[in-house]
Amino acid sequence: MTGATGEALAAIREETATRTVGPDGDVRVRSRGRDGLENPVTIDGDGWRVETKLPLLGDHQARNAGVAAALVRQVAVGPLAVDEKALADALARGLRNAHWPGRFEVMGREPLVVLDGAHNPGAAATVADTLETFAYDELHVVAGALADKDHRGIAAALPPADRITVCRPDHGRAEDEAVLAAAIKRATDVPSVETRADVPDAVDAALAAAGPEDAVLVTGSLHTVAEARDRWAGAQTPLAPRSLADARRRTSLAPDRAVHRVVKLRLRPRQVSELREAVANAGLSCRVPDRSGHSSDPVTVELGGTLTAFEQICDRLADRPELAGVAARLRTTLGPSRSATGSGFPWEAETALMGILNVTPDSFHDGGEFNDRPDAVARAEEMVAAGADIVDVGGESTRPGADPVPVEEEIDRVLPVVERIAQLDALVSIDTRKAAVARAALDAGADILNDVSGLEDPAMRLVAAEYDVPVVVMHSIDAPVVAGKDIPYDDVVADVIDELTERVLLAEKAGLDRSQIIVDPGIGFGKTARESFELLDRLEEFRALGCPVLVGHSHKSLFERVGREAGERYEPTVAATALAADRGADVVRVHDVAANAAAIDVAAEMGPAETETDQD
């Protein structure tokens, strides 16, 4: 089919819709179609207004935003005095950060890939209306549903498709794919209806058939969408135990001397049965946790063995339709830690060094030392001469108890420095939580965004995508750090990876490639010293995200655990840099460049000896 034309899109963008919310109709919502992947809305009440953009598309989501704003105000406004502007700003920011996985979630652009768990005719009609605001050539639908739904009604309400691939989600009440296909054929005149027994296989088939100008819609059930979403969000965690004792400590397997690698997989229950059968007598250890009752939730499976055994099992899995995608991801997970993308980023070839340049009066280690602009420029030149690949300029401290810095003041601090050092033989990074500061710094010559809040500012990812620059996404519960706040983790590494997964998806959906999204585990941010050391020790597990990894540990409080107070952390910082580089860090962020550059060089020489022609 042919989607909306350019003229029709322009008309849709100009169209406005006014809705009333509440028993008295006193909250009015005005939606202006779609701006990229956002939904601009204005919400008017009795003496108040909120203007924002929603990441949730469709006029119905604008109405939902109006309901949410009215409820928040009902709770917040009462006998207490409220700053109306502050409340409106908080509502605008909160609504712009309101992400809803599986509800018209755009996962790709070429082709357009949309996940929506619509499972009734009304919801399907809403999906059709929203999809019509996009331009595309052919529509490929992946459909899977539960048995007690109105299949014919859902099929009739969906937008006309050129091809439908029907599948069965891994759920006890899932409808048989042949039965669902028959219902769809009776309700539509779609020229091609195919069946697949497995959701991942159906998604693979649709993506293979779709051209870059086409659209792929996965729908029919939230269970179907959840399985499809694992293609982007499902992590396969690689471990590289350094000894048998290390393997026993870090995995649930009973390793022997043949275990060189361990990989944790997230699989659907049906895939687990297939995997167990496939790995039988393959030389791999396989552990599946006990499960009671039926659940469609992913299961974490651990595989352990030699690289040779993994290579052999990947060949075996590739011949099984339900596990072919698992095999492909396994090969990626166990492959080289770095691969050139042609971008020229310094971290592609070896561990890159990011030098810290704080132009603040109150940073925890060097506050006020380089607050003067000539001193800051001289310090940047010194760091580049000592081996810094990146100079990270920051105008706001994130130490515990630090006061927020207004946007204009932060810009005044960093902009003159960025402009002066942009011509140095190094990349320039801007360390900021604010999209407005990021934009100003990029205009002044910065090359990278470093966001310690993990994209808390909803516009940050869009700025990074607009300028097509790398962005560091850090895991942090609070920035600035809240001293003494206890953050519970079941497993600090697994929990941080899970939370970073959604942050990475936000940046990816904005238009960035994963090679441009640098993840930072956030050592010292909402973690105890022991947890920070655990993150450093298990750094290779972050390769599950498919992104470069940055480590920022310089002079931080985790070194109190080894008896080093503030001012005594130079040596442990250098030691940790060597360990981070050895464990696969792509970027290391430090204050003392020369010594840490030497540590990276030493770590790079570790490993199997290579044949050399010059032995002097």
* 38-55: pLDDT as tens digits: 999 999 988 899 999 999
d(CA 239, CA 460): 32
Residue 347 lies in a domain: no
Residue 341 lies in a domain: no
Q: Residue 474 has what pLDDT?
A: 96
Torsion angle, CA of 209/221/198/282, rounded to 10 degrees? Answer: 120
Count of CB atoms situated within 10 Å of the CB of 44: 17
SS3 580: helix
The 10s digit of each residue's pLDDT in 348-396 is 989 999 999 999 875 554 555 555 688 889 999 999 999 999 999 999 9
Residue 462 lies in a domain: yes
Q: Which two tokens stand for residue 391?
A: 């100079």
Q: Which two tokens stand for residue 157?
A: 């309400």
pLDDT band at 616 (very low <50, low <70, confident <90, very high): very low
Task: Indicate whether 258 pLDDT > 80.
Answer: no
Within this chain, do residues 471 and 530 fall inside the same structural domain, yes or no?
A: yes
Mean pLDDT value across the chain: 86
Sheet holding 517-520, edge to edge: 517-520, 471-474, 448-451, 427-431, 390-394, 352-358, 587-590, 550-552
Within this chain, do residues 592 and 526 fall inside the same structural domain, yes or no?
A: yes
For tokens 């919801």, the residue is 123
Within this chain, do residues 370 and 516 fall inside the same structural domain, yes or no?
A: yes
For tokens 């209806």, the residue is 193
pLDDT band at 11 (very low <50, low <70, confident <90, very high): very low
What's the domain range around 427?
352-604
Partners of 301 in beta bridges: 265
Q: Residue 4 has what pLDDT?
A: 41
Q: Which two tokens stand for residue 344?
A: 């020229």
Q: Where are the alpha helices (DSSP H) in 82-215?
A: 84-96, 121-131, 151-157, 177-187, 199-209
The 10s digit of each residue's pLDDT in 551-590 is 999 999 899 999 988 888 999 999 999 999 999 999 999 9
- The residue-averaged pLDDT of 201-213 equals 94
Residue 611 lies in a domain: no
Partners of 305 in beta bridges: 261
Final residue in a domain of this structure, among 200, 233, 266: 233
- DSSP state, 266? E
Within this chain, do residues 229 and 242 fall inside the same structural domain, yes or no?
A: no
Q: Provide the angle, in degrees to the nearest 10, between the axes of the packed helices 324-334 and 307-318.
A: 150
Q: What CATH number corresponds to the domain at position 214? A: 3.90.190.20
Within this chain, do residues 356 and 278 fall inside the same structural domain, yes or no?
A: no
HEC letters along 300-317 = EEEEEECHHHHHHHHHHH
Q: Are the beta carbons of 12 and 6 closer than 8 angstroms?
A: no
Nearest to 86 by CA among 404, 399, 477: 404
Q: Are the beta carbons of 259 and 154 closer than 8 angstroms?
A: no
d(CA 102, CA 114): 9
Residue 376 lies in a domain: yes
Q: What percent of the chain has pLDDT over 90?
A: 57
Partners of 587 in beta bridges: 352, 550
Q: Which residue has the higher pLDDT, 22 or 26?
A: 26
For tokens 């990029």, the residue is 442
- The residue-averaged pLDDT of 197-216 equals 92
Strands (E), 432-538: 448-451, 471-474, 517-520
Q: Which two tokens stand for residue 135?
A: 């331009």
Within this chain, do residues 504 and 380 fall inside the same structural domain, yes or no?
A: yes
d(CA 409, CA 404): 10
Q: Which two tokens stand for residue 32?
A: 């202006």
Residue 262 lies in a domain: yes
Within this chain, do residues 279 and 374 fall inside the same structural domain, yes or no?
A: no
Residue 345 lies in a domain: no
For tokens 């939904």, the residue is 39
Final residue in a domain of this structure, among 96, 114, 140: 96
d(CA 283, CA 286): 10
Partners of 431 in beta bridges: 394, 450
To the query of whether residue 85 is one of the catalytic residues in this protein, the response is no
For tokens 């996009």, the residue is 134
CA atoms within 13 A on the CB side of 347: 26
Q: What is the DSSP string of 350-406?
A: S-EEEEEEE--S--TTTTTTT-SHHHHHHHHHHHHHHT-SEEEEESS--STTPPP--
Residues 6+ apart with CB under 8 A from 527: 487, 489, 492, 535
Task: Indicate whether 13 pLDDT > 80.
Answer: no
Total number of domains in the chain: 4
Q: What CATH number corresponds to the domain at position 569? A: 3.20.20.20
Q: Residue 3 has what pLDDT?
A: 44
Strands (E), 418-485: 427-431, 448-451, 471-474
Is the alpha carbon torsion for 438, 39, 155, 223 positive or negative? positive
d(CA 106, CA 216): 10
d(CA 183, CA 154): 10
Residue 614 lies in a domain: no
- The residue-averaged pLDDT of 278-290 equals 81
Nearest to 266 by CA among 494, 506, 537: 494
d(CA 90, CA 238): 40
d(CA 403, CA 600): 34
d(CA 344, CA 585): 17
Catalytic annotation, pick one of 168, 556, 569, 583: 556
- The residue-averaged pLDDT of 531-539 equals 94
Task: Indicate whether 5 pLDDT > 60.
Answer: no
pLDDT band at 33 (very low <50, low <70, confident <90, very high): confident
Q: Which residue has the higher pLDDT, 503 or 340?
A: 503
The distance from CA 44 to its chain's CA centroid, rounded to whole angstroms, is 33
Within this chain, do residues 436 and 513 fall inside the same structural domain, yes or no?
A: yes
Final residue in a domain of this structure, among 233, 266, 289: 233
Within this chain, do residues 26 and 74 fall inside the same structural domain, yes or no?
A: yes
Q: Which residue has the higher pLDDT, 299 or 120?
A: 120
Residue 36, burial from CB neighbour count under 10 angstroms (0-12, 13-18, 19+): middle
To the query of whether residue 186 is one of the catalytic residues in this protein, the response is no
Q: What CATH number corresponds to the domain at position 261? A: 3.30.1370
Sheet holding 163-166, edge to edge: 105-109, 112-115, 215-219, 139-143, 163-166, 193-195
Within this chain, do residues 167 and 184 fall inside the same structural domain, yes or no?
A: yes
Within this chain, do residues 373 and 451 fall inside the same structural domain, yes or no?
A: yes
Task: Indicate whether 75 pLDDT > 90.
Answer: no
Within this chain, do residues 292 and 400 fall inside the same structural domain, yes or no?
A: no
Catalytic annotation, pick one of 73, 261, 461, 589: 589
Q: What is the DSSP string of 213-242?
A: T-EEEEES-HHHHHHHHHHHH---EEE--S
